[in-house]
Structure 1
Amino acid sequence: MKASEFDQKFDKGEDMSEFLDLAAARRPRYEQKRVNVDFPVWMIEALDREAQRLGVTRQSIVKVWIAERLEKCPHG
């Protein structure tokens, strides 16, 4: 299918999912990269209590808190 044909179908509001390879889809700047961070035991315990209270994982709460902080940075 030509790009112009694809664009026309999209502009008409047609379902385009059959033409997309969603398994290969990526979100630029949102690729995952593993990092290791050492925290004092008291921080891990506090993170775990808060994560349990919210019903999320420790990793989730750390990501959310860091993202919230970075959004407030002028250069974030």
Structure 2
Amino acid sequence: MFRVILELLRIVAIIFILGSLMGALVNLIYRNRLQFSGFYKGKGKEKLSNKISIFLICFSMLMITIAPLFR
């Protein structure tokens, strides 16, 4: 029983470490390049406010979690 718990802790630690490394790599590479160099070339390019960004992220996470219920 003790071996199983240690093995699960090892797996969780490996996933945490690899996830942290991949997240750091993504943050180094991706710095929102398409926001101002994307497809739209008009005058109305401006950054979204933090409030709208947080709302959109929360709404999309809600939709992703609810989606399996409507199968």
TM-based fold match above 0.5: no
> TM-score, normalized by length of structure 1?
0.28
Higher relative contact order (CA 8 A, sep 6+): 2
Question: Which one has a larger percent helix, Structure 1 or Structure 2?
Answer: 2
